[in-house]
Amino acid sequence: MRTAAGAALPVMTYGADDGGDLTSRCAAKSGTFRNVETAADDVALLGPTSGTTGTPKVTMHFHRDILANADTFARYLLKPTPEDVFAGSPPLAFTFGLGGLVVFPLRFGASALLTERATPLELAEAAAAANASVLFTAPTAYRAILKQGRGDLLSRLRIAVSAGEHLPRETWQHIYDETGVKLVNGIGSTEMLHVFISAVGEDIHPGATGVAVPGYRAVILNAYGAEAGPNESGRLAVIGPTGCRYLDDPRQASYVHNGWNVTGDTFLRDDDGYFVYQARSDNMIVSSGYNIGAPEVEAAINEHPDVLENAVVGRPDEDRGSVVCAFVVLREGVAATADKGTEIQDFVKAVIAPYKYPRDVRFVTELPRNPSGKLQHFRLREAIALEAQSQDGASDSPPPPGLAGTAALNTR
């Protein structure tokens, strides 16, 4: 291996007996370290965002942020005890996993079950075998566990947390009906370190994300930057003991306004004061003058018995401005045919307002996700753009992996 300048990089071996071997060099060290004096406002970690909207950013968090992370959501909603066993799917390198599998157990004297690259069912089986009482994973994983008929593995949990993507009311209800577990919905971000809006137990309103976690305040901002009224959609803004600090990134100016962290999510606040998710601000589809939230369409499609998972984005259209385009993964053994596409379209029309149905249905083998498991809708939009360029003869670039052969099987 060589550096960019062409210089050879040193190669260190291990397992040999010579003094230059890595093992030998480690053995020669004292094994003791002098503690570095740090302050509460010193940077403790750099957290990369998941890049769901494009190029990832790096966030900086102080030592006090990590304690605040545990002393808000975990202390007041999860209420951990030393008897708890935490388990979950998010990698430790992402703040969802860092909080749920490292910081929270350590802060409250609990323990954690660490798994690596487990499928949803494998995670549930391992958690049940370890008597896990708190589980962190995404709605997609909870649905997969139910669809494989193993809801019994979840019924033993004290708390099940759903985050990372929107939790539809239907998924919440299915989990509760089959397991008796009331999923704790929550929204957090790498910028804020962990969950800042949620609800637990009897305070849960299915279909709503929740209210601001103790220590945080949240509002909905309208197009003019003023606080929106009840049931008026707008940009979610939050302030609290943690906040966004990007590492040398001009996007800092678009995330923080007058001290408020503007997350890039569209919410409304209902008559009960609960925050209800609408869509990512960049994933609201405007078709023939109608605003269509992609998560609502995704939730409807996921109710179809032959659908394993799906993702919805807007596809540019000359007549309507945009149309709803659904990328659908079918369960094993179901054929991806034009008739199946029509069936899904008719199914959606019966579940939600008919004008919201996907006019473009595309069957794929998998959906693009980042290492933390979040859907990357921007890659689907890129695939559509590449397809349009290819049709115009402007590009011959291949589609992203897993999205090959995604020409619309049914458009009407």
- Residue 362: closest CA among 392, 397, 399: 399
Angstrom distance (rounded) from CA 394 to CA 386? 9
Q: Is residue 392 over pLDDT 80?
A: no
Q: Please give the pLDDT value at position 405.
A: 44
Q: In percent, how much of the chain has pLDDT > 70? A: 90
The pLDDT tens digits of the residues spanning 86-120 come to: 999 988 888 889 999 999 999 999 999 999 888 99
| Domains delineated in the chain | 43-280 (3.40.50.12780), 288-411 (3.30.300.30)
CB 83 within 8 A of CB 110: yes
Please give the model's pTM, rounded to 2 decimal places.
0.73
The pLDDT tens digits of the residues spanning 318-327 come to: 878 889 999 9
Q: In percent, how much of the chain has pLDDT > 90? A: 53
Amino acid at position 345, single letter:
Q
Q: Which residue reads 């190669």 in tokens? A: 11
Q: What is the mean pLDDT of the chain?
A: 87
Q: Please give the pLDDT value at position 54.
A: 57
The pLDDT tens digits of the residues spanning 240-273 come to: 999 999 988 888 888 898 889 998 888 999 999 9
Q: Which residue reads 């549930």 in tokens? A: 124
The pLDDT tens digits of the residues spanning 168-189 come to: 888 899 999 999 999 999 999 8
The pLDDT tens digits of the residues spanning 36-78 come to: 899 999 999 998 886 555 577 899 999 999 999 899 999 999 9
Is 116 strand, coil or helix?
Answer: coil
DSSP 11: -
Of the listed ranges 163-172, 181-190, 208-217, 368-377, the one predicted with least confidence: 368-377
- Residue 349: closest CA among 341, 358, 360: 358
